[in-house]
């Protein structure tokens, strides 16, 4: 209908978090969206802002133009690829890199991401066990496990991008996740291929804009 405009996507986002992956997807695909800022302290099971959308209280959480809710970066990434024609950052069915894409997309969200879920707020899982330091142990063990996972990924990826010549959403995950523990210096020393992907994306105009909005001063200064 003339004059009728559909609602934009509404992205619930927290500075520096995985919501940056969705933000970059919308930016690169040139899809209009609005941001609802959720402070880190209001994420998690008790989140006021996210309670009605996502029982995990996690970002990204997304409200689609239809009013439906979508959570999970992998779902959002594939949804954007499905709905924006010509936006080819997910190798489509039949593409020679499709199988590798699917493997590593799922690996990143099902193996690597949970090391943060359990390590970020370990007291949630083991209680405030100051006597035995269980929270500290869980944080350390998930951290060490994550390093081993990254070293495994490093052995399997190609260059210049994760999937070789094919740029994909996986590279954006690498950009975001290398900013988190153990951090860029560790990647530079231990996983140079992953580090190079992240550095290449630091210079992308959409990534720069998202980094600035997320107040990632160490990136925006370079």
Q: Which residues lie near ligand GSH (CB under 6 A)?
A: 17-18, 43-44, 56-60, 72-74, 109, 113, 116-117
Cβ at position 107, least distance to ligand GSH in Å:
12
Cβ at position 71, least distance to ligand GSH in Å:
6
> In the complex with ligand GSH, which residue's Cβ is closer, 31 or 111?
111
Number of H helices, E strands in the chain: 11, 4
Q: Which residues 6+ apart lie within 8 Å of 69 measured at CB?
A: 53, 54, 61, 62, 63
Cβ at position 40, least distance to ligand GSH in Å:
8
Cβ at position 44, least distance to ligand GSH in Å:
3
| Inter-residue long-range contacts of 57-61, CB under 8 Å, 24+ positions, other chains counted | 58/18, 59/12, 59/13, 59/14, 59/17, 59/18, 59/19, 60/11, 60/12, 60/13, 60/17, 60/18, 60/19, 60/21, 60/22, 60/23, 61/11, 61/12
- Block residue for tokens 């009013």: 67
> In the complex with ligand GSH, which residue's Cβ is closer, 125 or 217?
125
> In the complex with ligand GSH, which residue's Cβ is closer, 73 or 178?
73
Cβ at position 183, least distance to ligand GSH in Å:
15
What is the distance, to the nearest Å, from the Cα of residue 117 to the centroid of all Cα atoms in its chain?
Answer: 13
> In the complex with ligand GSH, which residue's Cβ is closer, 17 or 28?
17
> In the complex with ligand GSH, which residue's Cβ is closer, 73 or 166?
73
């Amino acid at each position: 209908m003339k004059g009728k405009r559909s609602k934009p996507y509404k992205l619930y986002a927290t500075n520096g978090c995985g919501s940056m992956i969705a933000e970059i997807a919308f930016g690169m695909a040139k899809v209009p969206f609005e941001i609802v800022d959720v402070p880190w302290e209001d994420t998690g099971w008790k989140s006021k802002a996210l309670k009605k959308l996502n029982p995990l209280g996690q970002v990204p959480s997304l409200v689609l133009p239809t009013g439906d809710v979508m959570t999970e970066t992998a779902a959002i990434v594939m949804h954007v690829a499905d709905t924006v024609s010509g936006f080819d950052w997910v190798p489509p069915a039949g593409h020679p890199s499709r199988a590798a894409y699917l493997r590593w997309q799922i690996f990143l969200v099902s193996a690597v991401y949970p090391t943060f879920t359990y390590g970020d707020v370990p007291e949630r899982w083991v209680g405030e066990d100051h006597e035995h330091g269980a929270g500290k142990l869980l944080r350390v063990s998930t951290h060490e496990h994550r390093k081993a996972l990254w070293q495994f990924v490093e052995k399997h990826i190609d260059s210049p991008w994760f999937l070789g010549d094919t740029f994909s959403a996986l590279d954006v995950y690498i950009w975001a996740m290398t900013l988190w523990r153990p951090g860029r210096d560790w990647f530079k020393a231990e996983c140079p291929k992953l580090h190079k992907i992240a550095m290449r994306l630091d210079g992308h105009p959409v990534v720069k804009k998202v980094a600035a909005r997320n107040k990632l001063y160490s990136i925006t200064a370079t």
